Structure 1
Amino acid sequence: MARALVTGSTAGLGLEFAWQLAGTGHDLVLVSRDERRLRAVAEQIRHVHDVDIEVLRADLSVREDLDHVATKLTDPVAPISLLVNNAGYGLRGRFLEVGVADHEKQMDTLIRAVLVLSHAAARVMVQRRCGAIINVSSLAGYTAAGPYAASKSWVTVFTESLATELRGTGVTATALLPGFVATEFHQRAAINVEGLPRVTWLKAPFVVEQALRDAAKGHVLSIPSVKYRAAGEVSRLAPRRLVRKLTSASWEAELGQRALRRSRRRASRRKLHAPWQREDQ
């Protein structure tokens, strides 16, 4: 039976990858920093799907933990046929407002972990002449929205390079570039996105289903939905001066202002539709 290793597997896209892969009969190795949530997720999946699940608590920003996961990828007894590099998180605040140690830890998770785990997985997969790697990147990588965007730009370019190097080996590499996805990501980073219209958001099941389909076809880039594929092309081809202007660190403040204006409009409409609610009651 095929076996998949998913990092960041207790929430968001990682959790959705775990459920969908189990649904297609994959045994799983689930990796996360939170062992309690890991075991709870594993138990929930086992209750629904008859698959073998191993949990591996690891903080990928810690080199010893990262090396432990890399070793798991080279296990000849229980080989991994699919690696999903999904672990990641955002930081609240502009570059100079956040301590450099926090930036370094984030880069270790978003960049170094992807590099090390992709290297370990690809080498053994090439020997077996089969396997796939999905690196979760982001359309933010086409913008100029700080260190997180820069790290995702690296993930995309790295995956494209790896895919080229793996051509003809039976192993594929795919970068998943979603836009805004309805997960815990923004809430955990305390990022205010209330000003975004509903049409902007994608649902995690759709994003993961598309990513797995594209990876199975050997596509190098997976960008879910026509609207985001168009947005990606515009961002990639637009003059960088314009991109910097539209996607600077001030975007969150603008979203906050939009959310405030929307809230005020809703309050005004409620007053119009409920004239019996007098302020002196």
Structure 2
Amino acid sequence: MKATTALITGASSGLGAEYARQLAARGFSLVLVARNQEPLEQLATEIETQHGVRTEIIAADLLLEEGLDLVESRLLSEDRPIRVLVNNAGFGLPLDFENNEITEEVRHLRLHNEVQMRLSHAALQGMLARRAGTILNIASVAAFIPRSTYSASKQWLVVFSRWANARYGPRGVTVTAVCPGFTHTHFHERMGLAPGEEGVPNWMWLNAEQVVAESLRDAAHNKALSIPSLRYKFLAALARIVPGEITARVGERGRI
């Protein structure tokens, strides 16, 4: 991937911050997007000091129309083109759908699907005109395991990315659905789960560095689907042939 500019949503921590670090190490300038300004400023200072690349900050709530419009406008800029889009912003909900606030379920679906669709649509305008670009949609191995609306939203990203990669790949734009398994980030803590409370054995955990490095390598090879680590490639393949009632019970463990 030619060094230019990457835009990353949910960039203030976890996988988003790791994408920023690894892309900066490859020489990319960055546009960092998240709701809160302060952690973005801290990350930008760290990256500029370590890698000497240019960073921009957009503090925006993507669930607000004005915030989403701001990021869409940046993606559509012809003067400052975006070569890589990392659609990473997201959050999780408890699996007991019937007890969740429906307004939170709607917000969850909108952020994981509508927002990523709209940002991908905006990014494609310039990428297709330049016949060069990469879009990474951060999904989850949960796309292959029934896990309430989280699984459903991630499966949408996988199907969309596979189709988009087949359609736009020949025109120079790679679209990759990234499907990590359990990964050490702050995602679980924001759901109220302290380390060790997820009920997941140690061997199932990945680190953010591995997930990001493997997904960037897969995208560079024009793959529509990236499932980091052999263990999760095996589990995803197994989930396709195991009866749904069994995978649903498995899906009750932890948070992916």
Aligned equivalents of 1:196 and 1:246: distance in 2?
11
- SS of the residue corresponding to residue 171 of structure 2 reads coil
TM-aligned CA deviation for residue 144 of structure 1: 1.2
Q: Which has the bigger relative contact order, CA under 8 A and spacing at least 6?
A: 2
Residue matched to 1:237: 241
Give me the CA root mean square deviation.
1.5
- SS of the residue corresponding to residue 167 of structure 1 reads helix
Q: Flag as ranges the 4+ runs of structure 1 deviating above 6 A.
A: none
Aligned equivalents of 1:244 and 1:50: distance in 2?
47
Aligned equivalents of 1:60 and 1:166: distance in 2?
25
Q: What does the per-residue CA deviation read over 1:224-252, in whole Å, with 9 as the maximum and x for residues that have no partner?
A: 111100000011232223323432xx435
One-letter amino acid of the counterpart of residue 236, structure 1: R
TM-aligned CA deviation for residue 115 of structure 1: 0.4
Aligned equivalents of 2:89 and 2:198: distance in 1?
24
Residue matched to 2:46: 44
In the superposition, relative to structure 1, how do residues 30 and 238 fare at CA in structure 2: closer, same or farther (>3 Å)? same
Q: Does 1:213 align with 2:220?
A: no
Residue matched to 1:132: 134
Once the two structures are superposed, the pairs formed by residues 174-185 of structure 1 within 5 Å of their partners are: 174-185=176-187
One-letter amino acid of the counterpart of residue 16, structure 2: G
One-letter amino acid of the counterpart of residue 4, structure 1: A
Confirm or deny: 8 A CA contact 1:131 1:172 kept in the other structure. yes
Identity of aligned residues (%): 38
One-letter amino acid of the counterpart of residue 97, structure 2: F
Q: What does the per-residue CA deviation read over 1:24-68, in whole Å, with 9 as the maximum and x for residues that have no partner?
A: 110000000011111111111111111110000111111221121
Aligned equivalents of 1:69 and 1:237: distance in 2?
40
Match for residue 143 of structure 2 among 141, 144, 169: 141
Moved more, 192-201 or 11-20: 192-201
Residue matched to 1:269: none
- SS of the residue corresponding to residue 237 of structure 1 reads coil
TM-aligned CA deviation for residue 194 of structure 1: 3.9
TM-aligned CA deviation for residue 73 of structure 1: 0.6
- SS of the residue corresponding to residue 172 of structure 1 reads strand
Name stretches of at least 5 consecutive residues in structure 1 with no aligned partner.
Answer: 254-281
One-letter amino acid of the counterpart of residue 208, structure 1: V
Confirm or deny: 8 A CA contact 1:92 1:191 kept in the other structure. no
Residue matched to 2:202: 198
Query: What TM-score do the two structures reach when normalised by structure 2?
Result: 0.94
